[in-house]
Amino acid sequence: MTLQETIESLVAAGAGANKAAARAAFEQLRAALEAGTVRSAQPDWSTPTGWSVNTWVKQGILLGFRFGDLVEMSAGLPFYDKDTQTVQSPGVAGGIRIVPGGSAIRGGAFVARGVICIPPMYINIGAYVGEGTLVDSHALIGSCAQIGARVHVSAAAQIGGVLEPVGALPVIVEDDVLVGGNTGIYEGAVIKQRAVIAAGTILTGSTPVYDLVNGVIIKPSAGHPLVIPEGAVVVPGARAVTVGAGQQWGLSLATPVIVKYRDGKTDARTELEQWIR
């Protein structure tokens, strides 16, 4: 029986599943996630977003929570968590720079060689972080989020996690994307390659984005989340409220706006991050 079949069988058994078997399956899954041989979502060019979710992987992660036992995990400071939810210690051989100051990579996350982690930051279970990516201070990579290679996740950026519902696509940030400081990307939004998300921009799976360059409004389609096009430069914007008392009161709503598409000049500015690598 494959790992996928084992996990699906245990999930079908519900609370009556064998605890030892569930823990063993979770440990096998956790090791595969850390090695990058299994992912909670993967490229799939047959779908509108270019990605598909591996539901069974999320189910396996949830098995680890359901059948884990609460234990002490103190390391100078008191921590108490399910014993299946470990913290990684990649060591020097792992090739990952984790700067002192309160950062953590939860067991079951894949972090490629050359990733830089600036404290304090957190990478949650099921996440995938590609080679050469920078995760800056106070940044969060949520559970099952998929981050590509050479991505800059700036200070205080929040990449949301999606464990449940298990069939929901997690947040996807493809290669060479710049995610600005205090940015929030949530609810399975997909950011295609080389996009630039300016500081303070909030994107969710249902956010409409106004593309000034092409004169269109990018909206999620039925059953599929928001997709930011390749190379788009997205900044925070506002649009007037024209209904009810909103017009009388002069109110406006925050909305992301695509002001340009990435070019050589944009690339030159983003190359500044290479100096700290």
How far is it, in rounded angstroms, from Cα 191 to Cα 168? 16
Task: Using alpha carbons, select from 217, 213, 190 the residue that is nearest to residue 203.
Answer: 190
* Secondary structure (H, E, C), 36-84: CCCCCEEECCCCCCCEEECHHHHHHHHHHHHCCCEEECCCCCCCEEECC
Top CATH class, 85-276: mainly beta
How far is it, in rounded angstroms, from Cα 40 to Cα 213? 34
Structure letter (DSSP) for residue 197:
E
Rounded to 10 degrees, the C-alpha dihedral 66/72/75/76 comes to: 140
Report pLDDT for 240.
92
Mean pLDDT of all residues in the chain? 91
Dihedral class, residue 231 (left if φ above 0, else alpha if ψ from -120 to 50, else beta): left
**φ and ψ of 231, to 5 deg:** 75, 0
Report pLDDT for 268.
57
Report pLDDT for 272.
47
Q: What is the pLDDT of residues 29-51, one digit of tens each?
A: 999 999 999 999 999 999 999 99
Q: What is the pLDDT of residues 232-264, one digit of tens each?
A: 999 999 999 999 898 889 999 999 999 999 987
Give residues with Cβ within 8 angstroms of 62, minimum separation 6: 11, 163, 164, 166
For residues 64-74, give the mean pLDDT.
87
- Can you give the pTM of this predicted structure? 0.89
- CB count, 10 Å around CB of 41? 26
Residue 36, strand partner residues = none
Residue 276 has pLDDT above 90, yes or no: no
Structure letter (DSSP) for residue 186:
-
Report pLDDT for 89.
86
State percent of the chain over pLDDT 90: 73
How far is it, in rounded angstroms, from Cα 184 to Cα 196? 13
